[in-house]
Amino acid sequence: MNAGILRSSRVAAIVVFAVSPWVFASAQAPDAKPAAGRQADGPKFTPGRTPDGQPDISGMWLPGGSGKPMETPSGKPWTPPPGYDPGTNSAYTFFPPTDNSRPAVRDRRPMVVNPADGKIPLQPWAAARREEIIANQEKAEYLDPRVRCLQSALPRANLPVFYNSYQILQIPGYVVVLYEWNHMSRFIPLDGRPHLSPSIRLPMGDSRGRWEGNTLVVDVTNFTDRTWVVGHGAPPEGAPASSLTTGHGVFHSEALRVVERFTLVDKDTISYEATIEDPKVFTRPWTVSFDAFLRAPADHQLFEYACHEGNGKNILLMTGVDIEK
Amino acid sequence: MRRSLVALAVATATAWLWAGAAQQAAAQGQRGALPRTADGKPDLSGIWQVVNTAHYDIEPHSAQEGVPGGLGVVEGDAIPYQPWAAEKKRENLQNRASLDPLGKCFLPGVPRVTYLPFPFQIAQTEKYIAIAYEFAHTVRIIYTDGSPHPGPLDFWMGDSRGRWEGDTLVVDTTHFNGRTWLDMAGNFHSDALRVTERYTPVEGGHVMNYEVTLEDPKVFTRPWKMSMPIYRRAEKNLQLIDYDCVDFFWQDLFRKK
């Protein structure tokens, strides 16, 4: 054997061994992950496969990203007036982590990554309408549709709230996402069929999926216009919309289109990106990105979340209608 | 000479085996063979719907205005109510416009959810069978992973644990809250209800025979059964179109204000 080759392969071996502890460290220690949540610096993770050959993202998942605000406020931070009583919602204004098994993610960068300033690009009329919505939350017609137990649009359904978790199943031709909150479900067909007729509108829209390598890309159209696009945590009562970091009050028209990308970046993390377009409401498409799904403990199960059934007191308070009678 | 006889024997045997295989292949095309999942179970994934009048009234009934008549799905025709419960059923029937929990967009319970006049979609994996119902985006997750029922909790849709007995999916559902009905005619149960469903695919997987045993010692004098076929919806590219009852509830409320 040629001595020159032996020497260079020994050098190559030393380089490999020097690099690998760093590579393994970044793959195994969640705290060491870059704050955006992507395994940008680690080795590319290769997921297992389902029996029908899809990258395997199935399992039980907990909400990720609960340390992150949605947006940079469009206006000034809000200072409560003297004597302000934050009420019972104050605990949730600052996005407490929902998952006790991991160190809290204290990443304060907004989920909105595009535009780069993190501000949701509302058209002026829509920003004014948002102010009106947020200022009138005590009226049932303006109230957050989620509080009325209406289904969440997208990407809102995938935003972290402590009373939610997810289950993903995969069967030939479909990815199925089950949401614990309000028992929502999405059967995402992978067979390239066209979208529904525009005459059919759905609160969670109409999803069409395809795999691009290890990323599930889902195109969602045919939304109704009675939901909010985003909104997690809880806005302080009385704060104007321009001061919010939570995304509440961001409504949409039926022109809404959302393109989602789900990527299993390590065995316990699905990174999520959603690009939102609605030419009637926003000045341009915008994108949110964060690690939305964190692998749940092995014995986790989704429990029934009977939202409307348990909402009787709120409904009575807001409308005088007694559904318990 | 011997070599050519051996060759002939091998060729004949091979031809016979191939003929057998071809026969079997032909049999695969007949309606008798069920589609199966990778783990060998009958594959129930897809969209299904019941076609009968059980959602109005599970017992035999004549037609009324707006309600088609039906032979009934209860074996033996009559639900074996305890005397107090038979009286309660009559009360429910009389006041069904205000008392039917479905009228308030509450979750339908089991087995009522199966025979509502809406389709449902099954996603079957080895450990979980998820059923999404078009009505009120109801979801049931049937655990076929051998896990037990949970502790003292109760649910509108109960808690379902399933297992396969041959080609029949047997689902045991308990932990009901007793607030659901069995149909629009006021037939009801308590929180002690235990439902055993048996889903048996037949006709090449195009139909399931659905047999349900109901036990509730607070309401009935004995266990009793109902049965009906469930049909696989044949349309290409079918999908569930959400019947968002709660949305209609709110729109109705705002209209009246």
How many Cβ atoms sit within 10 Å of the Cβ of residue A106?
10
Pairing of strands B120-124, A286-295: unpaired
For A269-290, letters b (16+ CB in 10 Å) and e give bbbbbbbbbbeebbeebbbbbb
Distance, in Å, from the CA atom of A28 to the CA atom of B114, rounded to the nearest integer, reads: 45
With a cut of 90, say whether residue B40 has pLDDT above it: yes
What's at B32, amino acid-wise?
A: G
Comparing CB atoms, the residue among A140, A169, A308 nearest residue B125 is A169
- End-to-end alpha-carbon separation of chain A, Å? 90
Best mutation site among A185, A300, A319, A325 for testing chain B: the one with the most B CBs within 10 Å? A185
Helix, strand, or coil here: A209?
A: strand
Query: Tell me, what's the pLDDT at B12?
Result: 61
Rounded CA separation B215/B224 (Å):
7
- Can you tell me the distance from the alpha carbon of B15 to that of A251, in angstroms, rounded to the nearest whole number? 70
Tell me if chain B has a CB within 8 Å of the CB of A177: no
Least CB–CB distance from B141: residue in A140, A178, A309: A178
Which strand (E) or helix (H) includes residue A113?
strand A112-114
B157 touches chain A (CB under 8 A): yes
Dihedral pair phi/psi, residue A261, rounded to 5°: -130, 120
Q: Kindly state the helix (H) or strand (E) to which residue A21 belongs, with its residue range.
A: helix A3-28
- Whether B30 has its CB under 8 Å from any CB of chain A: the answer is no
Contact of B70 with B53, CB cutoff 8 Å: yes
Contacts of B121 in chain A (CB under 8 A): 187
Q: How many CB atoms are closer than 10 A to CB A130?
A: 23
Q: DSSP assignment, residue B126?
A: S
Contact list in A for residue B246 (CB cut-off 8 A) is: 148-150, 307-308
Beta strands in chain B (DSSP E): 46-49, 120-124, 128-133, 139-143, 159-165, 168-174, 194-202, 207-215, 224-232
Give the closest-approach CA distance of B173 to chain A in angstroms.
13
Which residues of chain B are within 8 Å of residue A206 when distances are taken between CB atoms? Answer: 239
Q: Which residues contact B152 (CB under 8 A, 6 or more apart)?
A: none
Instruction: Enter the tokens of residue A95.
Output: 């996005």
Tokens 């907990």 belong to residue? A62
Residue identified by tokens 């993390």 is A269
DSSP conformation class of A163:
T
Contact predicate A256/A277, CB 8 Å: yes
Q: For residue B91, how far is the Cα from the chain centroid?
A: 28
Total residues found in chain B within this entry: 257
For chain B positions 166-185, those within 8 Å of chain A (CB to CB) are 179
CB pairs under 8 A between A and B: 97
**Which pLDDT value is given to residue B7?**
60
Residues 6+ apart with CB under 8 A from A138: none
Return the closest-CA partner of residue B183 out of B65, B52, B76.
B52
CB A103 within 8 A of CB A31: yes
In this complex, do B253 and A321 lie within 8 Å of one another by their Cβ atoms? yes
Please tell me whether residue A3 adopts helix, strand or coil conformation. helix
A273 near A289, Cβ under 8 Å? yes
- Residues pairing with A90 in the sheet: none
> Can you read off the two tokens belonging to residue B166?
């041959």
CA–CA separation, B249 and B246 (whole Å): 5
> pLDDT under 70 in chain A at which residues?
1-43, 86-106
Q: Rounded to the nearest 5°, which phi and psi values hold at B113?
A: -60, -30
CA angle A160, A165, A167 (to 5 degrees): 130
Q: How far is B172 from chain A (nearest CA, A)?
A: 16
The answer for residues whose C-beta is within 8 angstroms of residue B124's C-beta and 6 or more apart is A171, B37, B41, B43, B44, B45
Q: Note the maximum CA span of chain A.
A: 91
Mean pLDDT across chain B: 92
Restricting to B residues 111-150, those with a Cβ less than 8 Å away from any Cβ of A are 121, 123-125, 128, 130, 132, 137-139, 141, 143, 147, 150
Distance from CA of B96 to the nearest CA of A (A): 13
Say yes or no: B155 contacts chain A, CB-CB below 8 A.
Answer: yes
For A56, other C-beta atoms within 10 Å of its C-beta total 16
Contact assignment for B242 to A203 by CB distance below 8 Å? yes
Q: B137-184, pLDDT tens digit by residue?
A: 999 999 999 999 999 999 999 999 999 999 999 999 999 999 999 999
Could you tell me the CA-to-CA distances from A188 to A207, A218, A219, A268 in Å, in that order? 6, 8, 10, 22
Cβ-based contacts of A149 with chain B (< 8 Å):
246
Question: What are phi and psi for residue A259, nearest 5 degrees?
Answer: -115, 120
Supply B125's token pair: 């994996």
Instruction: Determine the pLDDT at residue A39.
Output: 44
* Beta-carbon separation of A176 and B130 below 8 A: yes
For residue A39, count other CB atoms closer than 10 A to its CB. 18
CB nearest B104 (choices: A148, A174, A323): A323
Instruction: Give B171-230 pLDDT, tens digit per residue.
Output: 999 999 999 999 999 999 999 999 999 999 999 999 999 999 999 999 999 999 999 999
Task: State the pLDDT at residue A104.
Answer: 47
A166-171 and A215-221 strand pairing = unpaired
A69 in Cβ contact with A94 (< 8 Å): no
A135 at interface of B, judged by CB pairs closer than 8 A: no
High-pLDDT (> 90) share of chain B, %: 86
| Contact predicate B235/B213, CB 8 Å | no
Omega prior to B60 cis, within 30 of 0: no
Helix, strand, or coil (residue B11)? helix
Q: Could B155 and A303 be called an inter-chain contact, meaning their C-beta atoms sit closer than 8 Å?
A: yes
